[in-house]
Structure 1
């Protein structure tokens, strides 16, 4: 399907060869940018494929490329997450996987294509950038363009938010990101809280040395994530098929000493977890979107060797145990491990500005707010 918008041509993707062009446009647009962290092409193709991503059991999507003078100059995905709409009592479409040159005509054409697609499906609002689920990239960078991105986030040029404002999009939600500096020793207050909480609630900390050891807990970790994240912006509960999908995707790439699981001793229930990873930003830049022939070596080296930066990838505590000090158990375990491995600071990755509980947990650490990202919304 093709749409003409003045000198810009919009093509809806129907062929696999075009899908690869869709994914690779991001790599071309940011080639040489020192702050952009490219994803892996094959991983993004997997995410966008209805035959392989179980999110399509309750999502639908369309993908569009913008051409000008015979060259690709932009891309955008339209997404409808029916489960999220039911959960939040909304009638929204999402846009995501969006990139474009700084050209009003190109931007207008891309967003017009998604808006037309969404209106034909009876949607009332367009919000984004968001993916299919909460584990996909979300939020457009609005501050921190001179900061290195992370594996879990989107990097974009400073003209992106200006284009969103020009088109009449307004703020829907903001996330903040912090550098959290590892203290010389565990804060005494956290140490005391950890000991009190451990005894009061009968909790214990689990550590793992292999994939075989962590696999019996993998699905329970994601069940805990479902409960912990259920009230957060835009979240829809992960299905059993999605959890299987993420277990297969993420468990093999973990560094097990950086994983902490808190269980209740009486029944082995997972009440909290922390999944951290050595920062892979520089390794992904070297890989340039390709796992083979040499990308895997850069990633493996970054996972195994000492790295002064760690990413706080996923942290969750079930509602029953939130605000009871369970996070102190995570810090009590991880801070000595970070010391041993020469970690100077952690990247928090995006935290909702309205999530006071998450913000408060950093009060006893030196931190620096260095990035902000935004989800936009507009009536269509």
Structure 2
């Protein structure tokens, strides 16, 4: 039969598509399996609300009947319309170390994109910024964060050999949590709160967090709109994300900053790292994966940054200091020693400079590629 590619047409094939990386990375101590049920939701046309404004097609590559690669083609019409461009995305890219396999996968997506009148192909990207993105180009000896995707070093080499160029890079920082909150942090935080009439929301439980959820997502849509590949979230997407992440939230690791009228003007959301728990779960929440996840939420020495945003009117006023004072206190109290900043654009100087106040190192870098069709 040789090397062939096939578009997915059945639920069985979609499940094989989802499970392929588990086989490709079997035995790799740094690979973190995605939760299969979450992947199935994201990739299902009848479940993921992103399909209100996205189109997609998925393929599997076979060599003599054995799966050797996978890829998704995605067109986010909302993103294209907002930026007046004709870009298609490729995502969920995994393949054996064979240039012929990668060539076949990318050529198939390119043909599909051209048939949809697209002019460029870029990726790896998902339907939204909440999906895993980028090819790892540095940090192959580091554990990925909970919602990132590990890949072998040969990925970037072969992609570049096929004429794909760097579009943007994301960087990740590993930060040591200090033994105590510096006194100058506490003093400056109180001054900033007083000067701008700000206060931190009292968060005792998940119900308290969800009370502010809609305002948080509104702020995300406002402040992230110009970020690379970001597409504003719809009401249905927001509902789905609230449901997806509610399980993982711990109030003490979240800071929500309010003004005098209790409007959300900034927030920082972090959570205990689930990477090792996901390895133990092997992509399955049940029957035992859920237990590993819950244990990691309760007992951990590492947290990951999920999201941070500050309303435009309050930027460059030291509001980030309030967020860090809030959550650092909780880290120290609960024995957290390590903080991982998840993927940030390399040119996002405001965010990147935050970590320079602490002991840190840049330990991972990922890349989004682009090619004209």
Q: TM-score, normalised by structure 2?
A: 0.98
Q: Is the 8 A contact 1:187 1:364 kept in 2?
A: no
Structure 1 residue 322 corresponds to structure 2 residue 315: yes
Partner of 2:96: 101
SS class of match (2:342):
coil
**Structure 2: 5+ residue runs without aligned partners?**
none
- Structure 1 counterpart of 2:267: 273
Q: What's 1:229 paired with? A: 224
Structure 1 runs not aligned, ≥5 long: 1-5
Greater alpha carbon shift after TM alignment, 216-225 vs 284-293: 216-225
Residue of structure 1 equivalent to 2:362: 369
1:215 aligns with 2:210: yes
Per-residue deviation at 1:183? 1.5
Secondary structure of the residue aligned to 1:62 is strand
Which residue of 2 is the match for residue 304 of structure 1? 298
Query: Partners in 1 of 2:168 and 2:9 — Cα distance?
Result: 32
User: Offset of 1:248 from its aligned partner?
Assistant: 1.5
SS in 2 for 1:28: helix
Q: Which residue matches 2:332? A: 339
Contact 1:219 1:247 in 2 (8 A): no
Structure 1 residue 191: deviation in Å?
2.5
Q: Do structure 1's residue 286 and structure 2's residue 280 form an aligned pair?
A: yes
TM norm structure 1: 0.96
SS in 1 for 2:187: helix
What pairs with 1:116-265 in structure 2 (closer than 5 Å)? 116-265=111-260
Cα drift, residue 152 of structure 1 = 2.1
**Aligned residue pairs: how many?**
373
Q: Contact (CA 8 Å) 2:278, 2:293: kept in 1 or not? A: yes
1:3 aligns with none
- 1:360 Cα shift? 1.5
Calculate the aligned-residue CA RMSD, in Å.
Answer: 1.2
Structure 1 ranges of 4+ moved more than 3 A: none
